[in-house]
Amino acid sequence: MNFLINYIVLAEIFVIAGMSTNILVGIVGIFTVSQAAIFGVGAYTVGGLTVAGTMGFIPALAVGAAICIILNVVVTLPALRVSGDYFVVTSFGIQLFASAVFINWTDVTGGAIGLFGIPSPEAFGLAVDTPSGMMILTTLAMAIAILCFWLVMRSPYGKLLKALREDELAVASAGKSVLIAKVSAAGLAGAFAGVAGGFYAAFISFIDPSSFELEVSVLLLTMVVVGGARTLAGSIIGPFLLLSIPQVLSLVDIPSSLAAPLRGLLYGALLIAFMLLRPQGIAGQRI
C-alpha cells in the first residue's frame, strides 16, 4: 500500500514538473533540456532552507519558486532575443552548468554526497510525516497547479502563448511583444519546476546531484511527449504512465548496473518512436 502511495506522490510531483516542460516545449514550442536543473534548484533551495530549520516548508517553497522564476528569466532573455534555436545551446549549458554547481558547491549543496535529513513538510502548523499525509498534500498541490495551468491557458495570456507557436510574426505585427511573452512563459515554467522540486526534496528527504542530471530532463521531456504536449490531460497521463515503467522493469530480473542505462534507453526509444509515429502523444496536440 505504501508502495502505491509513494508511486502516486512521485507521479503527482512529476505532473507539476511536467507542466513546466509542457509550457515551454508544448505550448510555446521552445526546446529545452534544462528542466531537471531548475527542478534541482527548487529542490536544493527548499532542502537547504528547511534542513537547518531556517524556514518552514511553505515559505521555503515560495523562495524556491522565486529563485527559479528569476533564474529562468535571466538565462532565457539573451538567448531568446536572437532565435529559438540558440536557446537549445543555452538550455544545454544551463543543465550542464547546474549539474556542475550541484556537485561542486559543497557548502550549499553538500556536493556529491547531497543533502540529508530534509524534514517532512509542515503545512499550516500540521506536520505531514505519514506517506498518506504526504499524498494528500501533493494531491492538493497538484490540484492547485492544474487549476493555475488551466486558468492561464484560458486567459488572454494563454492565447497569446498559443499564438506564438502558430505565427510569431503575426503576433509581433499585432503589437504584442514576442520577447516578453516568451520570457514570462519561461518564468512561469520556472515556478512550476521549482515548486515540484521543493516537494521532491521534502518527500524523498535526501537529494543528491544525480537526481537532477540531463537524463531527468530527458525523462520529463518523454513524459510530456508521450502523455501529449500542449494539453492538460497529457501533462497528467505522461508522468503516471512513465513512472510505472521502472516499477514494471523491477519485476524483470535485470542486474542493477544495467537498470539505470536500460531506463534511459527506454525513454530515448520512446521519444524516437513517438516522434516518428505519433508526435501528438496519447492525449495531446501535434507539436
In the shown chain, the binding pattern of residues 29 to 68 toward another protein, with x for contact by CB under 8 A and - for none, equals x-x-x-----------------------------------
Positions 204 through 233 that interact with another protein (CB under 8 A): 214-215, 218, 221-222, 225
Asked if 72 and 80 touch (Cβ cutoff 8 Å), the reply is no
Return the number of other C-beta atoms located less than 10 Å from residue 177's C-beta.
Answer: 12
Cross-strand bridge partners of residue 123: 126
Spatial contact of 84 and 70, defined as CB atoms under 8 Å apart: no
Binding map of another protein across residues 89-118, x = CB under 8 A, - = no contact: xx-xxx-xx--x--xx--------------
- Asked if residue 173 binds another protein (CB under 8 A), the reply is no
Under the criterion CB under 8 A, does residue 25 sit at the interface with another protein?
yes
Of residues 158 and 264, the one with the C-beta less far from another protein: 264
86 forms part of the interface with another protein (CB under 8 A):
yes
**Read out DSSP for 63-108?**
HHHHHHHHHHHHHHHHHHHH-HHHHHHHHHHHHHHHHHHHHH-HHH
CA torsion angle 70 71 72 73 (round to 10): 50
In the bound state with another protein, the residue whose beta carbon lies nearer, of 4 and 265, is 265
d(CA 75, CA 79): 7
Size of the site for another protein (CB under 8 A): 46
Which of 126, 170, 179, 265 is the binder for another protein (CB under 8 A)?
Answer: 265
Q: Minimum CB separation from another protein for residue 281, in Å?
A: 11
* Whether the Cβ atoms of residue 187 and residue 69 lie closer than 8 Å to each other: yes
Of the candidates 161, 158, 284, which has an alpha carbon nearest to the alpha carbon of residue 233? 284
The residue from 5, 88, 146, 204 that contacts another protein (CB under 8 A) is 88
Q: Contact positions toward another protein, by CB under 8 A?
A: 25, 29, 31, 33, 75, 78-79, 81-83, 85-86, 88-90, 92-94, 96-97, 100, 103-104, 214-215, 218, 221-222, 225, 257-258, 261-265, 267-272, 275-276, 279, 287
